[in-house]
Chains A and B, each alone.
Chain A
């Protein structure tokens, strides 16, 4: 049993865990999923952020957003529903406080950008042109706000259009974050690629609902919310695989990753990097555990470069 693990560590060659996406090299493929990690400040108390491939921030809009009424979160089997509504302090405070903090962290910084209109997104993208940001992730997939976000991600023409317009203004490589709440994910992946996206990330949450049968009402004030956590992983793996088949730009995979094995599954499905989301709430050490576990898995399976796993199925 476990013969591969019992080999003395000296005899194992340290695998190359770095991955490169749109010219940006990450020390390992493990990122944080937007909205589940803030800007890292709170989790810095638990983990060394320098152990992560990158931090993907919570969505940032041009002005502060108050978000939705509470209850905003509830648990479901092997997952959770949220309808936060992209509450955020706006880009000026974000730059002053969050980006200033991240400057001192040895990891890549991806800023998630949200807006109600194309102009809103462009405001943020322009404002970040000269800031210490490695990549932008464009949130066209949040299911919990009434305007913008998902409206751009469920229509291939709108997605193509917003991607083109953001690419014209962005100083950093652009990742379009896709929603699973579509009939054909490959159509959306192709639209993003055609619009000039440097990469795509998926999946955002799957729209769901939970009813309190004693109170005879929805649990969330927003009625519906986004489902995340291990419950959605098989859907996410399927969609990452389909999207990766459809485009030649890199794919960042996420959806219920809890372990290194989950992350490797996403890589094999076609992801060049992965993100840990809801499981941060279960265990603040998840990201580091996944990163370390992936390295051990590669070492014990004779994988020299983690990037060689991408899309091997």
Chain B
């Protein structure tokens, strides 16, 4: 059940240049039934001049404390306003939105997580969820790509996965992108899960085709409603989409996680 709720800020802090962590708690009566890795929520800037929610993927879900953690890039006016939040402040949120990663599909497999830049945070919840998998043989390796040696969330990821690093400036791990690190370390996997900028996702789609393994990609698009009404955030699909009847699927409803075969990224 999707709802617009008022959340309480538990923690807000900077992790790296322009990268912030924000933890929000639900009021007990608003708790969601289920949160899947790869899903997102819409966070609203306060005030009134900025109307639209900012879609931010879920970095951690702590069902015991009823707390959601988001790690976002303070890139525009809206997300920059979030950095001023302090513990105890209130924030409106629309959630939980979208379709996440299919854990049943991934269980029992060697899953390679590929996170680039602000695509790293949703990989943390996915790694944590896979770590809890009861399917024997589930194995998680994570490759995280950064601009420089500000390796946010690396230590937390190490709790759940074997971690490899790529940096654009070569200051840590492999110089280059996540696929460069995959190749350098000769990493193998049964399935890929990725979140990051479009050129990275495009390259991962081709890599998965080359290796003939499935890949699940989390896409980003500008959104207005977040619930499938406005048709603002569509992704091009390779087949006629069941809902739209054209080659477009809603990132906010059918996505943000798509099978790489289903989306046309070129």
Distance of A78 Cα from B48 Cα, bound (Å): 7
A49 smallest CB distance to B (angstroms): 13
| Beyond A67-B248, A74-B222, A80-B51, 18 extra complex contacts between A and B, CB < 8 Å | A37-B229, A42-B225, A43-B229, A46-B2, A64-B244, A66-B246, A67-B234, A67-B246, A70-B222, A73-B233, A77-B49, A78-B48, A78-B51, A80-B52, A82-B224, A89-B243, A278-B224, A285-B4
**B245 close to chain A: CB less than 8 A:** yes
Of B2, B48, B225, chain A has the most CB atoms within 10 Å of the CB of B225
- Given the contacts A89-B243, A282-B51, A72 and B229 also touching, CB distance less than 8 Å: no
Whether the Cβ atoms of B222 and A73 lie closer than 8 Å is yes
Contact A36 B232 (CB under 8 A): no
B50 within 8 A of A: yes
State how many angstroms separate the Cβ of B94 from the closest Cβ of chain A. Answer: 8
Interface size on A, residues (CB 8 A): 39
Q: Bits for B1-21, please: 1 = Cβ < 8 Å to A, else 0.
A: 111100000000000000000
Which of A36, A64, A75 meets B246, CB within 8 Å?
Answer: A64
In this assembly, does B223 line the interface, its C-beta being within 8 Å of a C-beta of chain A? yes
| Contacting residues, chain B, for A90 (C-beta < 8 A) | 245
Residues of A within 8 Å of B49, CB to CB, are 77-78
Cα distance A279–B230 in the bound complex, in angstroms: 12
Residues of the B chain whose Cβ atoms lie less than 8 Å from the Cβ of A65: 246
| B222 engages A72 (CB within 8 Å) | yes
Contact A73/B224 with A46-B2, A78-B48 known, Cβ cut-off 8 Å: yes
A80:B224 contact, CB within 8 angstroms: yes
Residues of A in contact with B (beta carbons under 8 Å apart): 35-38, 42-43, 45-46, 58, 64-67, 70-75, 77-80, 82, 84, 87, 89-90, 93, 229-230, 278-285
Chain B interface (Cβ < 8 Å from any Cβ of A): 1-4, 44, 48-53, 78, 94, 221-234, 243-248, 253
In the complex, what residue of chain B is closest to A74 when comparing beta carbons? B222
How many angstroms from the CA of A71 to the CA of B2 in the assembled complex?
Answer: 25
- Shortest C-beta distance, B46 to chain A (Å), equals 12
**If the complex has contacts A71-B221, A87-B246, A280-B225, are A35 and B230 also in contact, measured as CB distance less than 8 A?**
yes
Q: Are A42 and B78 in contact (CB under 8 A)?
A: no
Residues in A neighbouring B247, C-beta threshold 8 A: 66
Give B91 Cβ to nearest chain A Cβ, in Å: 14
> Can you report 13 residue pairs joining A to B where beta carbons are below 8 Å apart?
A35-B230, A45-B1, A46-B4, A64-B244, A66-B246, A70-B234, A72-B222, A72-B231, A87-B248, A278-B224, A281-B226, A281-B230, A282-B51
